[in-house]
Chain A
Amino acid sequence: MSPPDTTSTAAVPTIVAPDRRESEIAAPHPAVRTVIEPPHQWEWVDVGELWRYRELLLFLAWRDVKVRYKQTVLGASWAILQPAMMMVVFTVFFGRLAGVATGDLPQPLFFLTGLLPWFFFASAVTSASSSVVGSERLITKIYFPRLCVPFATVLASAVDFVVACGLLGVVLLFYGVTPTWNLFLLPVAAMVIGGLAAGLGTLLAALNVTYRDFRYVIPFFIQIGMFATPTIYSRPTGAEGEAVHWLLILNPMNGLVDTFRAAAVGGTVPWAGFGVGAAVAVVALFVGCLYFRKVEDRFADII
């Protein structure tokens, strides 16, 4: 797919004839031709169209970020304060009082490197899954590729995540961690997490339109997920570790959080876990988009 120039979504004609007025008025544009037919069963997403609407996608994400911190005194610093406070709470309760083993890492750093990717994932999935139902007014009044809606919320969560990564930088400096080549893996791991969240979020957003049950299921699933992911504990070793090992490896976030941690603080990269995570992300994105595409034609009628 070749990216068309940005004017193609504009009201400026795509083909600019010498006499623009003439070409605009004399004939409808051969360049833009829309055929509307009854819905088909399974279709792949129109990627070209999604690309043409990328500005809208960015505007929707921008709106979400903007609105989130409107009328707050601290504004976007909340994106840093929240994980900072969580880091402190976890260090005090789980680290000091419960004595959770964190390996060789300082406890705050251990918790932060687990919490950041997990919260990114959790907020992206949660907000994406309720995004379509929450955009009823838009969906019943105007056409645009509906995928923009869940994707924009994932993007908005990513903005918070990037801001919060500033905190990670500060904590890394504080503990004097020397950056390794692993650091280049950090954006990769973040993007895979984003992809996984977008896939799951899209699927859940579509399901949520038809079956409002998912409203209740998702928060529950997110909470369970946090304990099934090594955000706040390191994976147990030894015999009992073996037992849960296979259970944990099925959780795609497991390898991704480990990868994120290894990318931030150095050490061996858990490639197997990363591979599982990336593979699940690709499958989730594919299935999510495919299902979303199948049911999006009905959104305006049943939402």
Chain B
Amino acid sequence: MEPAIRVTNLGKRYRVTGAEKAPYRTLRESLTGLATAPLRRLMGRSTRAGEVSDFWALKDVSFEVQPGEVVGIIGRNGAGKSTLLKILSRITKPTTGRVEINGRVGSLLEVGTGFHPELTGRENVYLNGSILGMSRKEIDRKFDEIVAFAEIDQFLDTPVKRYSSGMYVRLAFAVAAHLEPEILIVDEVLAVGDVGFQKKCLGRMRTVAGDGRTILFVSHNIAALQSLCTRGVYLEEGKIACDSSVKEAAGLYLNKSQYCHNSINWEKSVAPADNGLILIRAAILDYNGEVATRLTCQSPLRIMLEYKVTKTIRNLSIGFDLQNKEGILVCGSNSEGARETHEPGNYTAECRFPGWLFNEDCYKIKFILHVIDRVLLATDWCLAFDLYDDEGHGSGRIKIHGITRPQLQWSVSPISFGTSEYA
């Protein structure tokens, strides 16, 4: 039998330009590029040094999905899951390789794509349904079912901008849930609405999966994946690290994220040691002081380092640098002033971060132990952790841009008539 999806040597390369540069070009850049290209060729360089670097979001990915299989795609942030789904749903083209899909594809990378705030619930059902690939007749047929699922019948003719975020998301998901393609591609959209509605969504997905449809799921919700999927594909740095049962893939994912990232116990023989200092253990802890398993943007966290001092050191500071996935140094800090003199013995240093500080990303940490004028010991990037933004922005759960993710106070109020100069 022919597979529903056949992926062969798929690769996707992104050009990473300097962070200060906009992703689009201005005409001037292209024109100067055009003018200097022959010169550069003459000099034997294809690009100006340091300007562009390549980043392979996916590399040599091959797999097949049989009709009726329900596959969970698992991986850390930036492992290439979303890129894979974007290629499969034809939003972006691969750089190398080939995909063959047999059957109609419906993809759900976001709920409420194309919802217009000014339009009413009824109008948005038609618009969104059409965008998702349903025909008018089909929407007509399923309309009542969609409205019943969303539980919004009395607000059907109200513009969705007046909906509560819960209502908005329920309606958006209801339309999406009634999409009936042969192959369904779903990205992290199950975690919408309140708990009751999430259960309903999951139930709906289970029905769809039980119907014999081919489904590809991406989610960080491992429990949900385990209950829905029969097979798991674990992606790591753009490559398939494991393609097996969902249990095995999920196990590997959970294992990896603990073992090599969130905490490290140095063996005596390989422990970083210098100038009378030996490192013992380092970990990212949650607010309970346990080694963190899953951290969200809102969770407070601690960075912990245990070390041994073998001779008396004055003015020792424990410091670290924190870097995000793009290699941007997000922050650094040190314990200066926390303890003046270290007598020989074991110590533990802890740095506490409040919640609502960093945005969703994966972060790496290295430690630097120093005295006033020189570094005594520095490690590689030895710890890593992921932050997930479960809340997202508003009802659409849009990822908010930026490095930080503060929780800020807003107030919006009408200006009373006559007091404003613009009135």
Are the C-beta atoms of A141 and B113 separated by less than 8 Å?
Answer: yes
Contact A142/B26 with A11-B179, A301-B92 known, Cβ cut-off 8 Å: no
The yes or no answer to A12 lying at the interface (CB within 8 A) is yes
Establish whether residues B24 and A210, one from each chain, have CB atoms under 8 Å apart when the complex forms: yes
With A11-B181, A38-B94, A70-B159 in contact, is A28–B130 under 8 Å at CB?
A: no
**Chain A 39-64 per-residue mask, 1 if CB under 8 angstroms from chain B, else 0:** 10000000000000001100100110
Instruction: Tell me, yes or no, whether B212 is within 8 Å of chain A by CB.
Output: yes
Q: Are A142 and B132 in contact (CB under 8 A)?
A: yes
- CA of A133 to CA of B356, assembled, Å: 31
**One of A2-10, A123-131, A159-167, A273-281 contacting the partner:** A2-10
Return chain B residues, CB-CB under 8 Å to A297. Answer: 92-93
**In whole angstroms, how far apart are the Cα atoms of A213 and B136 in the complex?**
38
Docked pose: A23 CA to B15 CA in angstroms: 44
User: Closest approach, in angstroms, between the C-beta of A196 and any C-beta of chain B?
Assistant: 23
Determine whether A82 belongs to the interface, using a CB cutoff of 8 Å to chain B.
Answer: no
Q: Which one of A138, A143, A213 has the highest number of Cβ atoms from chain B below 10 Å of its Cβ?
A: A143
Bound complex: CA of A63 vs CA of B131, how far in Å? Answer: 12
Residues of A near B99 (CB, < 8 A) are 34-37
Verify B103–A29 contact, CB threshold 8 A. yes
Cβ-defined partner of B23 (8 Å) among A9, A63, A302: A302
> In chain A between 268 and 303, which residues have their CB closer than 8 angstroms to a CB of chain B?
297-298, 300-303
A138 touches B118 (CB 8 A): no
Query: Chain B residues near A301 (CB, 8 Å)?
Result: 14, 23, 92
Chain-A contact segment, one of B104-112, B291-299, B322-330: B104-112
Q: Is residue B289 contacting chain A, with contact meaning CB distance below 8 A? A: no
Count of residues in B whose CB is under 8 Å from the partner chain: 64
Given known A-B contacts A63-B119, A142-B89, A144-B131, A11 and B101 have beta carbons under 8 A apart: no
Residue from A28, A32, A141 within 8 A of B2 (CB atoms): A28
Minimum C-beta distance from A59 to chain B (A): 4
Verify A36–B94 contact, CB threshold 8 A.
yes
Q: Which residue on A lies nearest to B5, using beta carbons? A: A28
Residues of B within 8 A of A11 (CB): 104, 106, 133-134, 138, 179-181
- Which of A6, A298, A301 has its CB near the most chain B CB atoms (within 10 A)? A301
In the complex, per-residue mask of B118-149: 1 if CB is within 8 Å of any chain A CB, else 0: 11000100110011111111100000000000
Q: Is A211 an interface residue (CB 8 A)?
A: yes
Contact call B24/A302, Cβ cutoff below 8 A = yes
Name which residue of chain B comes closest to A33, CB basis. B102
> Which of A25, A34, A144 makes the CB contact (< 8 A) with B212?
A25
Q: Mark B60-96, 1 if CB is under 8 A from A, else 0.
A: 0000000110000000000000000011111111111
A122 interface residue, CB < 8 Å from B?
A: no
A62: B residues at CB distance < 8 A:
127
- Asked if A10 and B134 sit within 8 Å, CB to CB, the answer is yes
Instruction: Report if A209 contacts B (CB, 8 A).
Output: yes
A28-B2, A38-B94, A140-B91 in contact; A303/B24 too (CB < 8 A)?
Answer: yes
Nearest residue (CB) in A for B89 is A143
Contacting residues, chain A, for B27 (C-beta < 8 A): 211, 213
Could you tell me if A138 and B107 are in contact, using CB atoms closer than 8 angstroms? no
Query: Are A27 and B1 in touch, CB under 8 angstroms?
Result: yes
Indicate if the CB atoms of B116 and A32 lie closer than 8 Å. Answer: no
In the complex, A71 has a CB within 8 A of chain B: yes
Q: Is A18 an interface residue (CB 8 A)?
A: no
Q: Is A67 an interface residue (CB 8 A)?
A: yes
- One digit per residue, 1 when the CB lies within 8 angstroms of any chain A CB and 0 when it does not, for chain B 281-314 equals 0000000000000000000000000000000000
User: How far, in whole Å, are A56 and B113 apart by their CA atoms in the complex?
Assistant: 13
Interface range on chain A: under 10, 10 to 19, 20 to 34, or 35 or more?
A: 35 or more
Task: Mark A11-32 against chain B: 1 for CB-CB distance below 8 A, else 0.
Answer: 1100000000000111111101
Q: Which of A29, A56, A67, A300 contacts B92, CB < 8 Å?
A: A300
Partner of A138, one of B4, B103, B104, B131: B131
Once A10-B137, A211-B25 are accepted as A-B contacts, the answer to whether A28 and B98 lie under 8 Å apart by CB is: no
B102 in complex: contacting residue of A12, A30, A66, CB < 8 Å: A30
- CB of B30 within 8 Å of the partner chain: yes
Partner among B2, B107, B182 whose Cβ is within 8 Å of the Cβ of A142: B107
The residue that B91 contacts in the complex, of A27, A39, A143, A212, with Cβ under 8 A, is A143
Distance (whole angstroms) from the CB of B401 to the closest CB of chain A: 13
**B96 lies within 8 A of A32 (CB):** no
Q: B157 within 8 Å of A by Cβ?
A: no
Give complex CA distance A161, B133 in Å.
29
Among B14, B28, B103, B159, the residue within 8 A (CB) of A32 is: B103
The reply to whether A211 and B24 contact each other, CB–CB distance below 8 Å, is yes
- Smallest Cβ distance from B32 to chain A, in angstroms? 13
Which B residues are within 8 Å of any A CB, using their own CB? 1-2, 4, 14, 22-28, 30, 67-68, 86-107, 109-110, 113-114, 116, 118-119, 123, 126-127, 130-138, 159, 179-183, 211-212, 214
| A-B contact list, 16 entries, CB within 8 Å | A9-B133, A25-B212, A26-B67, A28-B182, A34-B90, A34-B100, A34-B101, A36-B98, A62-B127, A63-B119, A70-B118, A70-B159, A144-B133, A209-B24, A210-B30, A212-B26
Q: Ordered nearest first, which 10 A-B pairs have the shortest CB separation?
A: A28-B103, A143-B90, A28-B102, A25-B212, A36-B99, A10-B135, A11-B180, A59-B130, A34-B101, A213-B27
A: residues with CB less than 8 A from B are 6-7, 9-12, 24-30, 32-39, 55-56, 59, 62-63, 66-67, 70-71, 137-144, 209-213, 297-298, 300-303
